[in-house]
Amino acid sequence: MVLGGLLVAAAVLTGCAHAHAALPRTQQVAVTGEASPRRCGVPVNPGTTTVPVPVNGVGRVVRVYVPHAYRPDRRLPLVLNLHGTGSSAARQESGTGMDATADVHGFLVAYPEGLHRSGTGFGWNIPGTPTYAPHGPDELAYLDRLITLLQERYCADLHRVYAVGFSGGGRMVSQLACQPGREVAAVAAVGGLRAPSPCAAPPVPVLGVHGTADPQNPYEGHGQPYWTYSVPEAARRWAVQDGCAAAPAVNRTSPGVTLTTYHDCRGAGAVLLYTLTGRGHVWPTARSGFDCDETVWRFFAEHSRQVADRIPTAD
């Protein structure tokens, strides 16, 4: 779809990953008329913008953060960062702090938003789960559409698109990884790793981060109907899916942090699980002793499909 006629209105951004307050707003981009979309060679201002994503006649949105290192002559990686159930795109942005990581390493961050109301925020209609509504929002079509739209609007590299999610967002990206013909090169789930079955997709790099004291999605399983098996079992199932060696390597990387790594996987496959002893249902930050944003980005960067390519500057 060709976009144009931009109208920007600023508002105040408030809230955090678990705040029970009015949903915050940021710059709004209205679409009117027909014009050429932004693409490589056209400068773009850094910061956060809310972009409309029409899907099957339904108006959806995505928040996009453009790093200060953005260069219109070089395609940048794109990371989709999905909120948990009851949260929102704005809360995920402020609660994770991934914008700062994007500034350091130079990548675009997109914060998609679920459509159905859940508490003070939104939830995802996840295929293959007990709460899935067949006639509800098509989340996979939404995510595919926004990837295409952002590649058209910004200088994003389709060979380096990644997805990470927290809690329900983690379950959503787990499902996304199983889609045949998926457009993401790697996925990560924080507090929400699942292994959908059947999974018809080829091997994919998968990263899990989970606290052993998580009361919402218990590390050992036996939780909600969508949360029956344990997190280590989810990692093991992904290792089978990726054709990895059966016996993983287990190492303590720092106090309270254990890394389980499956080796010798087929193709692009890779499975890593960080177990955080005593941690709850949170997105860990650098101040807590485990920098989740940096860990996720390092994993994504190690599984790029191709290096950045130079793009001729527009006249």
Average pLDDT of the segment spanning 111-129: 95
User: CA nearest 146: which of 136, 134, 158, 135?
Assistant: 158
Residue 106 has pLDDT above 50, yes or no: yes
pLDDT over 80 at 9, yes or no: no
Q: What is the mean pLDDT of residues 50-73?
A: 93
Residue 7 confidence (pLDDT) above 50? no
Question: What are the CA-CA distances from residue 191 to residues 17, 168, 199, 309 (Å)?
Answer: 13, 8, 21, 34
Q: What is the pLDDT of residue 305?
A: 61
Looking at residue 209, what DSSP letter applies? Answer: E
Q: Which CATH class is domain 42-200+209-232+277-301?
A: alpha beta
3-state secondary structure of 149: helix
Spatial separation of the C-alpha atoms in residues 305 and 148, rounded to whole Å: 17
pLDDT (average), residues 52-61: 93
Instruction: Give me the mean pLDDT over the 84-102 stretch.
Output: 97
Confidence of residue 72 (pLDDT cuts 50, 70, 90): confident
> What pLDDT is stored for residue 252 in this prediction?
97
Pairing relation of β-strands 27-30 and 7-9?
Answer: antiparallel
Burial class (CB in 10 A: 0-12, 13-18, 19+), 169: buried
> Higher confidence at residue 126 or residue 38?
126
Q: Which residues contact 27 (CB under 8 A, 6 or more apart)?
A: 8, 9, 10, 11, 47, 48, 49, 50
pLDDT in tens, 223-280: 999 999 999 999 999 999 999 999 999 999 999 999 999 999 999 999 999 999 999 9
Contacts 24+ apart (CB under 8 A), 224-228: 225/130, 225/131, 226/126, 226/129, 226/130, 226/131, 226/171, 226/194, 227/194
Gap between the Cα atoms of 7 and 152, Å rounded: 18
Q: Alpha-carbon distance 115 to 26, whole Å?
A: 18
Cα–Cα separations (whole angstroms), residue 166 to 5, 96, 151, 279: 34, 9, 24, 14
Which two tokens mark 129? 């789960």
Dihedral sign computed on CA atoms, order 122, 300, 51, 14: positive
Number of residues in the chain:
315
Q: What is the pLDDT of residue 170?
A: 98
More confident residue, 315 or 255: 255
Residue 312 has pLDDT above 90, yes or no: no
pLDDT value for 126: 96
- In order of 5, 152, 182, 279, the CA distances from 199 in angstroms are 41, 29, 12, 30
